[in-house]
Structure 1
């Protein structure tokens, strides 16, 4: 860091309870117990109206996260780039770029960077909503580079990956949505589900609560419930983002 070279400005847009666009330039480092040799930025939390928490984590050499999550809380990690050992107390997985791990609410997540290079991760947690009469969710690990994309809404230039099983045992999913310019959503969505999205590549013009806003790689977007949303991909590179979604549960009154 140093003295500013121009007038202070930001692309960040925050509408508590509705949506937020968080660009990387304004992120700050948070000190969180259990995170060692890590730079941690909290991207969203219940303070803004979200029902979950999202983090951007850079693990330096020797970085360690000891027991992420709390009782009744499920967690998820996606490896943006690098190499990290991830797991629970009794299961270990080596995640490389595109790798991910989901830990059910009865298991805490452990992360360790044993390599010489830093590793960048997106980390997520939310309270689990159990469903009577169904089996409990289980640990899931994988790598998107080993998965086959499917067309999104039968559009040839938009694809989606489902990172978790489409099973009622799970009350959430993680997806990667990818648009070949000038791909777009088929319509402006308005729904009860929340999303937290980290942009992995490309550029776009996003409709957030009927404001058309430029977005690009490394931006983070939180979408509140019932906020109109859709995107057009622009530029030369594919627009791709990994995002969360609550699902498989009825409304609680």
Structure 2
């Protein structure tokens, strides 16, 4: 069973060195695990016994297409409100504990590795179960309708039930756990889990239109971000703007895995935000 990284409780000790790995540039950002402390948590209207780390939000010079939270819900806490924006779709990915997600009146129990896709305009609620807090990623995006394309249905899954699709010629060292078929044009974003076995790598500098959010779930690696090689580990978050060159060496002793967001399957926007 995978042990997923998530923020640690508390604050760094007063005796710790200030020097860290946080980086913010015009092309990428690295938010290391050590700065995701209690002091940067926030709270949400309509949520009980809940706090969150907001690690990405749409703004000038940063994320343009998505927001990403790490949400921590105490046992018995949660929400009856769900998504406040009727135009937004969402993905939940559970990294600790368990919760009950009610989608359009149907209850689903999600544990570690649990995944839920929630279409825009869907009523949903959530409660943490058990004796330990539930932690999950919540990725939100304004859904982009397309002529003749229907809105996807809600679904739940667990990554442990889905075999990775290994990239050809990599001897099963670089693979992706996909929750949605790449050619399903109903979906305008993909949220996948990417796995590198020790020694696996991206052997070229990917440079493409998709914006990325990467949260490291497990392991360590050296990642090429624009002009820089940056060492990252479990619990770190990376944001990559469109066309930021990227590559990777999984040089640690164990697997290197991350939760990956990217926007896909739509025309380039030529006016305003989402053409509005």
TM-score, with structure 2 as normaliser? 0.87
Give the superposition deviation at 1:108: 4.1
CA offset at residue 46 of structure 1?
Answer: 1.2
Give 1:10 shift: 2.5
The aligned residue for residue 74 of structure 1 is 89
**Pair 1:87 & 2:87 matched:** no
Distance, in Å, in 1 between the alignment partners of 2:244 and 2:12 is 38
- Counterpart for residue 8 of structure 1: 18
Gaps of 5+ in 1: none
Give CA-to-partner distance per residue, 1:123-182, whole Å, 9 cap, x none: 110100001111211102100101111212431211111112431111111111101111
The aligned counterpart of 2:178 is 162
Aligned partner of 1:231 among 236, 248, 262: 248
Structure 2 CA distance for aligned equivalents of residues 164 and 37 of structure 1: 32
* Counterpart position of 1:41: 53
Structure 2 counterpart SS, 1:125: strand
Unaligned ranges ≥5, structure 2: 1-10, 271-276
Partners of 2:210 and 2:190 in 1: CA distance: 11
Aligned residue pair count: 252
| Deviations 1:41-79, CA, capped at 9 Å, x for gaps | 000111352121001112111220333321210011001
SS state at 2:151 partner? coil
Check 1:2–1:23 CA distance in 2 against 1; reply closer, same or farther (3 A cut): closer
RMSD of Structure 2 on Structure 1 (CA):
1.5
Q: Give the one of 35, 44, 67 matched to 1:53.
A: 67
Which SS does the other structure have where 1:54 is aligned? strand
Partner of 1:31: 43
Instruction: Specify the SS of the correspondent of 1:222.
Output: strand
- Cα distance, 1:238 vs structure 2: 0.2
Alpha-carbon distance between aligned partners in 1 of 2:76 and 2:87, rounded to the nearest angstrom: 29
Which residue, out of 120, 124, 127, partners 1:112?
127
Q: Residue 195 of structure 2: SS of its match in structure 1?
A: strand
Per-residue displacement from partner, 1:228-249 (whole Å, max 9, x unpaired)? Answer: 0111101211000111111111
Shift in CA distance, 5/246, structure 1 to aligned 2, threshold 3 Å: same
Map 1:129-208 to 2 at 5 A: 129-156=144-171, 157-166=173-182, 167-208=184-225
Q: Secondary structure at the match of 2:204?
A: coil
SS at match of 2:156: strand
| 1:2 Cα deviation from its structure 2 partner | 7.1
Q: Which runs of 4+ in 1 moved over 2 A?
A: 6-10, 65-69
Say which is worse superposed, 214-223 or 100-109, in terms of deviation. 100-109
Q: Distance in 2 between matches of 1:212 and 1:35?
A: 39
TM-score by length of 1: 0.94
Q: CA deviation at 1:3?
A: 5.6
